[in-house]
Amino acid sequence: MESLNLSENGKKLIELYDSMVVNGYDQEDGTRVNDVYSDFELRKFRNLVRPYFAKYEVTSLLDYGCGGSYWDTVDFDEETSATAKEFFGIDSVSYYEPARDIDQRQKVECVSCFDVLEHVFISDVVTVLRDIFSYAEKLVVINIACYDSAAKLPNGENAHITVRDPMWWKGILDAVSIDFPSVNVLFLASPAYRAAQVFELWNAKKWSQSKTYKVDLMAPELVGKAPPITREVSLTKDQLLAFNDAALSQDPEYTIKLIDLLQKRIHDKI
């Protein structure tokens, strides 16, 4: 088993996460959390994911970046009180959590990775993804948060240090999956904690068998409630001046409107 060849920033980040495990962390709202890694992030999407485990007859799994996920604990599913193993019909689970010095990485049928990649330094994203894919024989299930975290790193930065648009992540995943053509990929991009844009499952082997050159990208299905899209735009004074200059050069009528507005502002100040 090889250690990950992370960047210096990536290594320092793991040290910060180590500190959070031991000492707890502050949240953006000013509160303090001491019970770290207490959530089983897969739980909120369990009914969505279970059919894929059944389809590929997954019996062995690696929980990559497991955090507080314990697959043998009862009440994973509130209705049945089943453990995660029982709920998904999985026989064996191994764990990987570098911030807790847990490393059981090994070849399995499925690698599950929830709420992890947004914590990875951007230079290390491809390295970590390739590591994830390398342990999967049938299926990779990845959920990535595309929003800021409630948690703060010990240095004061937001704990989600690589926040990107879902399509950015989809492009990275597409590129990495090409080198693992037999692995099926289920990607859930979360615009909010209990919401996900679910992309159509794919594998690169099917792309190579395509009878057309164009491989269409189906729009993801939104599951859960996403936050409203804000249209607010913040401009610096210099950007505002540049915007007005561009508008003046393109629309002569705008000049008159701007003059009228400035005269009104001057009059109001007198």
The 10s digit of each residue's pLDDT in 175-219 is: 999 999 999 999 999 999 999 999 999 999 999 888 899 988 889
135, 164 contact by CB (below 8 A): no
SS (H, E, C) the chain: CCCCCCCHHHHHHHHHHHHHHHHCEEECCCCEECCCCCCCHHHHHHHHHHHHHHHCCCCEEEEECCCCCCCCCCCCCCCCCCCHHHHHCCCEEEEEEHHHCEECCCCEEEEEEECCHHHCCHHHHHHHHHHHHHCEEEEEEEEEECCCCCEECCCCCECCCCCCCHHHHHHHHHHHHCCCCCCEEEEEEECCCCCEEECCCECHHHHHCCCCCCCCCCCCEEECCCCCCCCCCCCCHHHHHHHHHHHHHHCHHHHHHHHHHHHHHHHHHC
> Please, which pLDDT band fits residue 220 given cuts at 50, 70 and 90?
very high
Q: For residue range 89-148, what is the model confidence (pLDDT) as tens digits?
A: 999 999 999 988 999 999 999 999 999 999 999 999 999 999 999 999 999 999 999 999
Pairwise CA distance, residues 160 & 9, whole Å: 14
pLDDT value of residue 270: 60
- pTM summary value: 0.82
The pLDDT > 70 percentage for the chain reads 89
Length of the chain: 270
Interhelix angle 125-134/166-177, rounded to 10 degrees, is 50
Query: What are the C-alpha distances in Å from 14 to residues 104, 140, 246?
Result: 17, 23, 46
> What pLDDT does residue 242 have?
67
Question: Among the listed ranges 45-49, 226-230, 252-256, which one has the minimum average pLDDT value?
Answer: 226-230
